[in-house]
Chain A
Amino acid sequence: MATDTAPLSRAATFRTDDTVARVRRVRTRRRMRAADLMVVAVWLSVAVAISLWLAYGGMNQVTDPASAITALGIVTGLVGTDLILVMLVLAARIPAIDRVFGQDRAMALHRRLGRPALSLILAHAALLTVGYAMSDGSNVVAETIGFLQSKDLLLAYLGFGLLVAVVVTSLVAVRRRFSYEAWHLIHLLSYLAVLVAVPHQLSAGGVLAEGTGQRVYWLALYVLAFGSIGVFRFLVPMIRSARHGIRVAGVEQVAPGVVSLHLTGRNLDRLHTAGGQYAIWRFWTGATWWHAHPISFSAVPTATTARITVRDLGRGSAAIGRVRPGARVSIEGPYGVFTDAHRVAPKLAVVAAGIGITPIRSLLEHSPLSPGEATVVLRGTDSTQSYLWSEIGALPSMRGNTVYTMLGARPPGLATWMSAEALSRGVTITSAFPDLLRSDLYVCGPQAWTDLVIRDARAAGLREAQIHVERFDW
């Protein structure tokens, strides 16, 4: 239905407010439709998994308690496996999903599905053991020993054990005990866990029997899930990294513990990076090659240069500050929905704190803003956190727009995102942003602080669609 193809964020040719509003409406509608379709697709995949069993004639086999338990065991296995494949798709960084939801929301859903999926697989194993034992008139121990005689089922048990390890190490309480690298290594086992469970799905039971449509569909799901991971997590980043030949050109200390990395490469403009996006970077030096970091662009890349700014939040990111010029860099991305393309409202309200300035800087640089459209609040505890601030006011797009700075500590014992000083002057989110309800609010900063900004915005009556957040803690 919509025919506009002009990339609004790149060309400021549409400048009348009406046109901008219309383009945004069309874009938003299209994005909402895509989002709904993806949600429906997840629902449908679960429904189809159950229907595979229905179409097999599963209902006709339910005649007594034993067969009912067995049937439930088959269905939980199908649905649980379907959810695991959905989780793989969510983690595959498929561009369409990133554009519509953003990788952080996709991963939030991925995390939420973990425990239900594991529970279903657990139920699958337990119910089938009990169901079989009941119909055979034996007990679960004898039945389990019988299962273990089969090579395929032995593999399935192995896969289940791996899944338990993956999910348990991902529980918040447990995950803290592991380094990111150890956790990630264990997490990679989930690929193996999913694959070793395949043989028993195809050989035991009748739902996925040879020559059935069910089998074709099921294998297609696996191809889709593993194919998208192979393509978007491995192939595309490798090709991109090779094609652009990115290297570190210079390391610039912009504040204590904060460095800007100046990068060079070929045709970097063809990454089509939108202001506000990030990429996952890997620096090929002895101390850093084993860990990739998500870091935002602090400026929109030109054809040959790019700049990212990073604060040493951990062991790994501190080592990045010591990377020497000339080091090779590989890139996954760019990713992220913290961009002008996701705007829905006529005005723009921006709050940034600390290293959160990074995507804000490139977002504002890339936004075609009219005078009076944007209000920016830059927040820091002290002047060591005011890096890149001077660049904001100097951006061409910020001409005629307002930048406030709010320096100072928060009042002790009070849950607020503002400084004690601003609070005592009676500043509120609506006094800082008089047009808040007609604005898109972009917030980037430490998680707890960000949550407080959002709390105030919601309390002021801002709609969810107008709240844009970049999470930095994953």
Chain B
Amino acid sequence: MRARATILGALSSIAVFAVGWQLGADGQQSETTTSDTAAGSAPTSTVTPSADAGSSTATPAPTPSASASETTTSAVSGTFTGTSVHTRFGDVQVQITVQDGILSDVTALQLTDQDSRSVSISNRAAPILRQEVLSAQSANVHSVSGATYTSNAYLTSLQSALDQAGL
């Protein structure tokens, strides 16, 4: 009888592990899929510079570029502030600098700062995210492992700033 309990226990534990593993893998997959579609839809959105930004903290300074003749799209310059995104470890908000339609800089105005752990995680993640975003010129980048909350909020705020800039 003890043997039966052990075998049953082992088998059902393996089943539970398999389910847990699968859920973990699924979760990761759906996460990437949603961020893919979100990023994918960004370029198709309107290119008109939006002065009517929803966020009150936004500082839209769209100045149509003089050298717009080369491209059909109107190249924008200025700084745009993304929406503030709330996470369980604190709020995250980024500001972008755009020059002639090119994303030239990302500044984190606020990062997850609930406790010292959150601060150290965001301090580690922010430079990596900035680097990746600048080279990808979009919010369609991988989140930093071990900093999922910070990354997701960072990229969400970034996307809203990019939308304002019309990038």
Residue positions of A touching B, CB distance < 8 A = 32, 35-36, 39-40, 42-44, 46-48, 50-61, 63, 67, 70, 132, 135-136, 138, 146-147, 149-150, 153, 203-204, 206, 209-210
Contacts and interface: CB of A to CB of B under 8 A. Distances in A.
Secondary structure of the B contact surface, majority rule: helix
Given A40-B5, A42-B9, A147-B116, 16 more contacts: A32-B1, A44-B16, A47-B16, A50-B17, A51-B23, A53-B20, A57-B24, A57-B27, A59-B21, A60-B24, A132-B117, A132-B120, A146-B117, A149-B115, A204-B115, A209-B88
Nearest to B8: A40
Nearest to B1: A32
23 contacts: A39-B6, A40-B8, A40-B12, A43-B12, A46-B13, A47-B12, A47-B16, A47-B17, A48-B16, A51-B20, A51-B23, A54-B17, A54-B20, A54-B21, A56-B24, A63-B145, A67-B146, A135-B146, A136-B120, A146-B120, A147-B117, A150-B116, A206-B149
Nearest to A135: B146
Contacts of B14: 47
B10 interface: yes
Contacts of B28: 57, 60
B65 interface: no
Given A43-B12, A56-B27, A149-B115, A67 B17 contact: no
A210 B88 contact: yes
A251 B142 CA distance: 79
A76 B94 CA distance: 36
Report the interface size class on chain B.
20 to 34
The 9 closest A-B pairs by CB, nearest first: A51-B20, A43-B9, A54-B20, A47-B13, A146-B116, A55-B23, A39-B5, A36-B5, A47-B16
Contacts of A56: 24, 27
Interface string B131-167: 0000000000000011011000000000000000000
A146 B8 CA distance: 44
Given A46-B13, A47-B17, A150 B115 contact: yes
Contact of A44 (B9, B88, B146): B9
A42 B145 CA distance: 33
A366 to B, nearest CB: 26
Contacts, number: 99
Contacts of B115: 146, 149-150, 153, 204
Nearest to A150: B115
Contacts of A146: 115-117, 120
Interface in B1-50: 1-2, 4-6, 8-10, 12-14, 16-17, 19-21, 23-25, 27-28
Nearest to A59: B24
Contacts of A209: 88
Contacts of B23: 51, 54-55
Nearest to B123: A136
Nearest to B3: A36
B100 to A, nearest CB: 37
Contacts of A59: 21, 24
Given A47-B16, A61-B146, A54 B24 contact: yes
Most buried by A among B1, B10, B17, B145: B1
B10 A43 contact: yes
Contacts of B145: 60-61, 63, 67
Contacts of B1: 32, 35-36
Contacts of B146: 61, 63, 67, 70, 135
B142 to A, nearest CB: 11
Given A36-B4, A43-B13, A55 B120 contact: no
